[in-house]
Structure 1
Amino acid sequence: MKLILFDKIFDNILYSDNLIIVNKIELHIKNLLLTLTIIVGSATLGYAQQGVQYTQYMYDGSLINPAYAGAEDALSISLLHRDQWSGLEGAPQSQTFSLHTPLKSPKVGTGLFLHRESIGVHQNLTIATNLAYHLPLGNNRYFSFGLKAGMINVRSDYQSLQNGNPDPSVNDELFSGTDFNAGFGFYYKSKKFEAGYSIPSIVNRSINVNDSVSLDPINLNHLLFSQYHIPVGKNLVISPGILLKYLQGIPVSYDLNLLTTFKNVITAGVSYRKQESVDFLVRFNLTPQFQMAYAYDYPIGNVSRLAQASNEIMLRYIFKFRYENVNSPQ
């Protein structure tokens, strides 16, 4: 009888010890998940503060500059999906819908811009309209000014980290905020050259571990873009270009790209993003109206130690095509 009682007591002690060990393991796992989330959030802090990032921005200028709305003399629709650092849990993902068209007056263009982005437990949604005025300068040249106005909603869902097992040591708050947003830009285009300057958003979202997501209406993201189209014979166009990006408190960044377009049917090229990635781009004009494009960003430098490659897919449809623009990769 004493032996049986001793066995039961011993079993209970073992069970209690095992339960304590299991609880400690679960707590360590939760803390590890939280730490990984914070690491991912920290790694994407600069990315989030610099605003929306595209590799294939040169195919549709309205993605980064409201002054481009209606510049193609056509109703143009673009769909874009970007998977930043594919395979890394919590890494940025974004989807963008852009529509723009000239109005009855060819000097005025308008557009709609929808963008959704997620980074870990953080999400933001932007809805905006673009309005542009195009001033003809003669000899197939024009200068444009554009305005952008809409709303931006930011949301942080720390409750999703609980996975049904509440832990007081883990932040379980849900933060959501909406604010008015606006932007503006300038755009110049001639037969072979184009350039633009824009501040796409006067409200930036900043991800902080303690303060969740905050809206900053002061720290502006400046973008300066230019591209030159060089015809080589009748069937080939070479297009070098650059995009400069400046945000206060962050070193100036830039994208250098070189694209080659053959018979206005296929475009292929390479781009270098300062200390971040080497990007490979390809685009097919399946018809004069329908375009399909893909970009593969290969990380380099310090980014390559933490991140994997990024993938970006883009679909475009131009409802009216003007053959006068055949020399431009746009």
Structure 2
Amino acid sequence: MNLHKTIQAVGIGLMTLGCVSTANAQQDPQYTQYMYNTGAINPAYVGSKSNLSIFGLYRTQWVGMEGAPKTAHVSVSTPLGESGLGLGVNFVNDRLGAMDENNISVDLSYTIDLSYDYKLAFGLKGTANLLSVDYQKLRIFDPSDGVSQENINNKFNPNIGAGVYVYSDKAYFGLSVPKFLQVDRYNDNYDNQEVVTMREKMHFYLMGGYVFDLSDNLKFKPAFLAKAIQGSPLQVDVSANFLIAEKFTLGAAYRWDAALSALAGFQVNDNLFVGYSYDAETTALRHYNSGSHEIVLRFDIFSRTGRINAPRFF
């Protein structure tokens, strides 16, 4: 079995090697707590809050499985005065088996008023991707395969994306494509024919949510996120979260045919929020791992109104 099939197996996270000769590249990282950093998937979100927001996330997926994904994400977003413009910068490191990807993206949004309550934002995203593959981390079945003799070091690919985001203090709805360009990340020579073994495809995201005031100290937010990729099943996340006394967040989520999640968060003070989530697999992979963990930190400062408002819950 040659090298490109080994890469295929790692890339799609299967326990055994695939039987086909073409596979998708590692796709966009999976987030359970996407609602706290929506700019990662929709550039129109940046600037929707009235303050500068610094965000950090670390996710370790499928704990106990060798080569399972690990993702670190740091971002900064802010409105640009009263211009209606918003700016965001993201850095993502995503590791999966022998692959190590670094993504640096810049988001720019522009917001207009639809009514007294609702605003409409348009966003653009520019991304620089650097891919590295260390073949020494793989079990090479054919040492004579020439591809395995030379690692991939920071192979550069650019991309562009866009999104729209409608929101108020209580509701939001967004549609986005973070990367428009279909990129062939790696080609292999198989039976004297060049075969694309890693291809990055377009991801379509649709999201929405609404906050219900159940009492003075209790808010309830049902929400959903749908992700579509050509050649892959539709992925849908549905969640229900409660905000208690503007301090504590508790909730649960279900990723259709994939995982059940528990979420918790704490607003330490006006500036700092800490969140945690745990995913329990519902697929056959549950027999080979002990779940996925995700930790987030968000620090809000420099509000243009002179103070940090009560948490908006999204």
Q: CA deviation at 1:140?
A: 2.7
- Cα distance in structure 1, aligned partners of 2:290 and 2:7: 16
Distance 1:299 1:36, change over 3 A: farther
CA RMSD in angstroms comes to 3.0
The answer to whether the 8 Å contact 2:270/2:308 transfers is no
- Residue of 109, 133, 136 corresponding to 1:159: 136
Amino acid at match of 1:184: A
Q: How does 1:6-85 map to 2 (within 5 A)?
A: 39-43=9-13, 49-85=26-62
- Residue of 196, 205, 228 corresponding to 2:210: 228
1:181 aligned onto 2:163:
no
- Residue of 108, 120, 129 corresponding to 2:97: 120
Distance 1:212 1:196, change over 3 A: same
- Cα distance in structure 2, aligned partners of 1:300 and 1:37: 25
Q: CA deviation at 1:311?
A: 0.5
The answer to whether the 8 Å contact 2:11/2:26 transfers is no
**1:196 partner SS:** strand
Distance 1:209 1:293, change over 3 A: farther
TM-score, length of structure 1 as denominator length = 0.80
- Residue of 228, 239, 246 corresponding to 2:221: 239
The answer to whether the 8 Å contact 1:199/1:223 transfers is yes
- Cα distance in structure 2, aligned partners of 1:204 and 1:308: 34
1:274 aligned onto 2:244:
no
Distance 1:203 1:80, change over 3 A: farther
Give the equivalent residue in structure 2 for 1:190: 168
- Cα distance in structure 2, aligned partners of 1:212 and 1:205: 10
- Cα distance in structure 2, aligned partners of 1:167 and 1:132: 50
1:303 aligned onto 2:285:
yes
The answer to whether the 8 Å contact 1:189/1:195 transfers is yes
Cα deviation, 1:249-268, whole Å, max 9, x if unaligned, reads 11111001000000110101
**1:244 partner SS:** strand
- Cα distance in structure 1, aligned partners of 2:91 and 2:215: 39
Distance 1:285 1:240, change over 3 A: same
Using CA pairs below 8 Å that are at least 6 residues apart, which structure has the higher relative contact order?
2
Give the equivalent residue in structure 2 for 1:110: 87
Q: CA deviation at 1:86?
A: 1.4
User: When you count helix as a share of all residues, which structure comes out higher?
Assistant: 1
The answer to whether the 8 Å contact 1:162/1:172 transfers is no
Give the equivalent residue in structure 2 for 1:100: 77
Cα deviation, 1:129-168, whole Å, max 9, x if unaligned, reads 11000111232310000001131111211034489xx954
**Paired residues, number:** 295
Q: CA deviation at 1:40?
A: 3.9
Structure 1: state its 5+ residue gaps.
1-30
- Cα distance in structure 1, aligned partners of 2:5 and 2:79: 49
Give the equivalent residue in structure 2 for 1:17: none
**1:267 partner SS:** strand
- Cα distance in structure 1, aligned partners of 2:256 and 2:293: 18
Amino acid at match of 2:123: G
**2:114 partner SS:** strand
- Cα distance in structure 2, aligned partners of 1:212 and 1:91: 23
Distance 1:48 1:195, change over 3 A: farther
Give the equivalent residue in structure 1 for 2:297: 315
Amino acid at match of 1:121: A
Amino acid at match of 1:197: L
The answer to whether the 8 Å contact 1:260/1:268 transfers is yes
Give the equivalent residue in structure 2 for 1:329: 313
**1:303 partner SS:** helix
Q: CA deviation at 1:328?
A: 2.5
Give the equivalent residue in structure 1 for 2:191: none
- Residue of 214, 239, 248 corresponding to 2:230: 248
Cα deviation, 1:156-195, whole Å, max 9, x if unaligned, reads 11034489xx954793431242111111110010232101
Q: CA deviation at 1:63?
A: 1.9
Rg larger for: 1
| Identity, % of aligned positions | 29
The answer to whether the 8 Å contact 2:12/2:26 transfers is no
The answer to whether the 8 Å contact 1:237/1:327 transfers is no
The answer to whether the 8 Å contact 1:264/1:285 transfers is yes
Distance 1:258 1:174, change over 3 A: same
